Amino acid sequence: MLELTAVRCFPLLALSAFLATGSATLLSPMVSVPARAQIAAASDVEARIDALLANMSLDQKIAQVVQPDTASFSLAEMTEYRFGSYLSGGNSGPGGDELAPPERWLALADAHWDAAMVPHADGRPPIPTMWAIDALHGHNNIVGATLFPHNIGLGATRDPDLVRAIGAATAIEIAVTGIDWTFAPTLAVVRDARWGRTYESYAEQPDVVASMAGAMVEGLQGTPGTSAFLGPDKVIATAKHFLADGGTGGKDQGDTVASEADLRRIHAAGYIPAIARDVQTVMASFSSVNGVKLHGDKAHLTDYLRGGAGINGLGFNGLVVGDWNGHGQVPGCSVSSCAASFNAGLDIFMAPDSWKPLLAATTAQVKSGEISMARLDQAVRRILRVKLAAGLFDKGRPSSRPLAGRFELLASSDHRALARRAVRESLVLLKNNGNLLPLKPKQRVLVAGDGADNVAMQSGGWTISWQGGGDLTKTDFPRAQSIYGGIVETVKAAGGSTMLSADGSFTAKPDVAIVVFGEKPYAEFMGDIDTLEYHDDYKSYKTMQRLRTAGVPVVAVFLSGRPMWVNPEINVADSFVAAFLPGTEGGGIADMLFAKADGGIAHEFRGKLSFSWPNGPMPPKLDSSRDPGTLFPFGYGLRFADHSNVGSLRETAPPGRAGDARIAVLGRSGLPAAWYMWLAEAGSPAVPISSNAGSSPSGALVLRGVDRDRQEDARLATWRGGTKAQIAVTATRSLDLSTPDQALVIDLRVVAKPTGKVMVGVTPASVGMGKKPNSLLADATALLANGPGTWRTVSIPLRCIGRRAALRAVNTPFVIETAGRLSLAISDIRIARPTGLGLKCPARPR
């Protein structure tokens, strides 16, 4: 097999261009780090690897290729098994605390390092371990870090120098916490914005992704061939998810059906510049290409990715890491055993919680020859090569490294200024009728909408927790500025005044209103949606309409992880700004909305859409200039000087939308967009949770994500008993459930049988302010009597729950409550024709 071992040479031109444009912004003045002494010649590196390999035991080698998650191993286990690397997934803060201060992350880095470096009993030298994390828009798992706009916004800037500087700032913040490796950048070329990871993508077009990919990798790792490469202020980067994760038709972990030519032209576009910048690692995608899971696809994962010019391959020379138990999805494999994936070219299994049986299975497979020793040595060689390139053998304990513990560099003023500039450049002006923008700052400005003063919402998913949003509050963002905060700063300085009013109501009439609204945070499959229609039950629309009717001009600021069908909202606003997910520097928005005090332009809009904006609920056809499904084409973005007038847009959906015959209440990929789940207890206010974990006020009911087929595609609810506690799902609109013969159909698994009566049902929409309607419930205890059990489907016919007339307007399509103890896993809830085990209900008056 072809294996390139030479260190790539870099054209001097690229290097000097980089120095001229990027270097001034790369390091804040406070950061000065010694350069790496010298770059080892490729032959020296390979000789050193030979020597290391010759001295490693089989156990030591296998430990290099299995990567556990910090939530699932102890320090003692690190010493016992010596994992070659480990990760912290999106919900894996130190000691299980996602809000842990940065000091604890660094202390944990030391603890793991020490545990890995305990001398071996047999005298063999320990191999340094390395720690990986998802720093996708800044060092986003760390409280107090700078959060930059998500990639969709960076794509709109069309500014690779900015992106390179963001990579460099992110690397510095990661180095402060003693972490070695980031699982970024995502190089997906997302062709259908219904995918929940659209915001991780720079653009729907390969050339924009390609222009950002090399810049981000260079920012994170440094310039190859220079002494700065992987120096102390740099981290190992990952190009992910290989290959064609963005081509699955909007489905997470789906299948991309494409010709080999399109795979290369569209989906490989970002990998070419990333590999040219010597990206050290590539992550295999969960998804498939033409029906073959990438985790088992040797043709792409090895032959194409690593092949040289001869087979028109990409010439990658680093290591391939798997995705979260992704090997388990290869036919014939399980999460705890998968020789096929390793033989196809996976060098490191990401085995967050499956590492222990996987170590044993992989050892047995090497012993039996199912995995050859040569293949194992090859993977370990690649891993050691990355470790040597990153200087891990010389770097010492994490806290002893030059930037470690310099916590003042997290959200330093330089990094915040850079993020604020990125926000300015990323905003796309979609409508500016009557040239309302830029606004005079010296006026009375009303700020409305639930995104106005909400840093969690403006930051999106992968923010402190995996899903972001949820329970995060202001105090979890100590150094951030909300959009409202930025507006106050600008307007006050100019002598104007502001009022914050979530619903837009006012006593003194404002001169202008800014309404900030949009999607609530989500990540991965939890963000998959069936249509691009934005709905918040016309809440923001009504707010804007009331303001317009009162004669107040309205600026809409839309926060979203993708372009959406928002024609009604665009119609009702005078100006409309697509802000995507700007991150912690909300001040960048005021910078763009307001003129200077003297009326001059403060900052010109320069953002251009990196995704076509839809003119209906279905995604536009790409690469067709006159698709009626496109409202604003790729590349669109107004400037102040454009005297464009956006006329009245069609507000009704074209026919053929998903009907309500089957209503998904809770899918394997979470709730429908903007729906909420509540946990309630008798006598205390209900707690809304938008992610999959939480607990009721006194902890009588605890919910957490568990795996059924995919990670966290199910919820485990545990009732402690003693107090009546309830889970409810609230929709954004009222649903007509009066169609005959429908049922609440639930996929569930009884983990511990109920000790009391369990009631299941729905709650009708409220009949008026302050009047709380009663839930309509049926006794479902009989359906849960067999436990502990396996997954099955149960149905509760709606006629067991209430009369048809009462089901005409329901806004809470699922309620379950008990005062007893019960532990129940739930993966899917829908209103549909009954299937599975059905509840027999007494005949009721119709």
Question: Could you say which of 524, 536, 681, 828 is catalytic?
Answer: 524
Which residue, 242 or 324, is less far from ligand BGC as judged by CB?
Answer: 324
Answer yes or no: are the C-beta atoms of 53 and 377 closer than 8 Å.
yes
Which residue, 184 or 423, is less far from ligand BGC as judged by CB?
Answer: 184
Which residue, 183 or 576, is less far from ligand BGC as judged by CB?
Answer: 183
Nearest CA to 821 out of 779, 767, 793, 784 is that of 784
Q: How far apart are CA 6 and CA 8, in angstroms?
A: 6
Which residue, 183 or 271, is less far from ligand BGC as judged by CB?
Answer: 183
Q: Which residue has the tokens 């309509």?
A: 776
Nearest CA to 234 out of 169, 137, 316, 281 is that of 169
Beta carbon of residue 458, minimum distance to ligand BGC (angstroms, whole number): 21
Q: Is 69 a catalytic residue?
A: no
Using the rule CB under 6 A, which residue among 22, 90, 224, 694 binds ligand BGC? 90
- Determine the interface stretch with ligand BGC among 87-95, 479-487, 589-597, 676-684 (rule: CB under 6 A): 87-95
Total chain residues near ligand BGC (CB under 6 A) = 16
If one asks whether residue 229 binds ligand BGC (CB under 6 A), the answer comes out as no
Q: Is 660 a catalytic residue?
A: no
Q: What count of other Cβ atoms lies within 10 Å of the Cβ of residue 32?
A: 9
List the interface residues with ligand BGC, window 466-525 (CB under 6 A).
Answer: 466, 524
- Report residue 383: phi and psi, to 5°: -65, -45
Instruction: Respond yes or no on whether the N-terminal peptide bond of residue 162 is cis (omega within 30° of 0).
Output: no
If one asks whether residue 185 binds ligand BGC (CB under 6 A), the answer comes out as no
Q: What radius of gyration, in Å, describes the C-alpha atoms of the chain?
A: 27
- The residue with its CB nearest to ligand BGC is 89
Beta carbon of residue 69, minimum distance to ligand BGC (angstroms, whole number): 7
Beta carbon of residue 525, minimum distance to ligand BGC (angstroms, whole number): 8
- Determine the interface stretch with ligand BGC among 89-97, 155-163, 442-450, 646-654 (rule: CB under 6 A): 89-97
Nearest CA to 389 out of 281, 240, 272 is that of 281
Structure-block tokens of residue 26? 């790369």
Structure-block tokens of residue 415? 């990094």
Which residue, 69 or 233, is less far from ligand BGC as judged by CB?
Answer: 69
Torsion sign (Cα): 655, 658, 660, 662: positive
Using the rule CB under 6 A, which residue among 323, 347, 425, 569 binds ligand BGC? 323
Write out 135-193 in H/E/C secondary structure.
CCCECCCCCCCCECCCHHHHHHHCCHHHHHHHHHHHHHHHHHCCCCEECCCECCECCCC
CA distances from 346 to 300, 341, 498 (A): 11, 6, 55
Question: Could you say which of 323, 533, 536, 569 is catalytic?
Answer: 323
- Determine the interface stretch with ligand BGC among 84-92, 293-301, 408-416, 574-582 (rule: CB under 6 A): 84-92
Beta carbon of residue 185, minimum distance to ligand BGC (angstroms, whole number): 11
Beta carbon of residue 720, minimum distance to ligand BGC (angstroms, whole number): 24
CA distances from 522 to 277, 533, 674 (A): 31, 16, 10
Beta carbon of residue 707, minimum distance to ligand BGC (angstroms, whole number): 7
List the interface residues with ligand BGC, window 114-153 (CB under 6 A).
Answer: 134
Beta carbon of residue 151, minimum distance to ligand BGC (angstroms, whole number): 12
List the interface residues with ligand BGC, window 679-718 (CB under 6 A).
Answer: 705, 711-712
Which residue, 321 or 515, is less far from ligand BGC as judged by CB?
Answer: 321
651: left (phi over 0), alpha (psi -120 to 50) or beta: alpha
List the interface residues with ligand BGC, window 392-451 (CB under 6 A).
Answer: none
- Determine the interface stretch with ligand BGC among 86-94, 264-272, 509-517, 799-807 (rule: CB under 6 A): 86-94
Helical packing angle, 160-176 and 413-426, nearest 10°: 150
Question: Is residue 310 packed enough to be buried (19+ CB in 10 Å), middle (13-18) or exposed (0-12)?
Answer: exposed
Using the rule CB under 6 A, which residue among 83, 113, 195, 324 binds ligand BGC? 324
Pairing of strands 288-289, 292-293: antiparallel
Beta carbon of residue 703, minimum distance to ligand BGC (angstroms, whole number): 14
If one asks whether residue 91 binds ligand BGC (CB under 6 A), the answer comes out as yes
Which residue, 695 or 711, is less far from ligand BGC as judged by CB?
Answer: 711
* Contact residues for ligand BGC, defined by CB under 6 A: 87, 89-92, 134, 183, 240, 286, 323-324, 466, 524, 705, 711-712
Catalytic residues, which ones? 323, 524
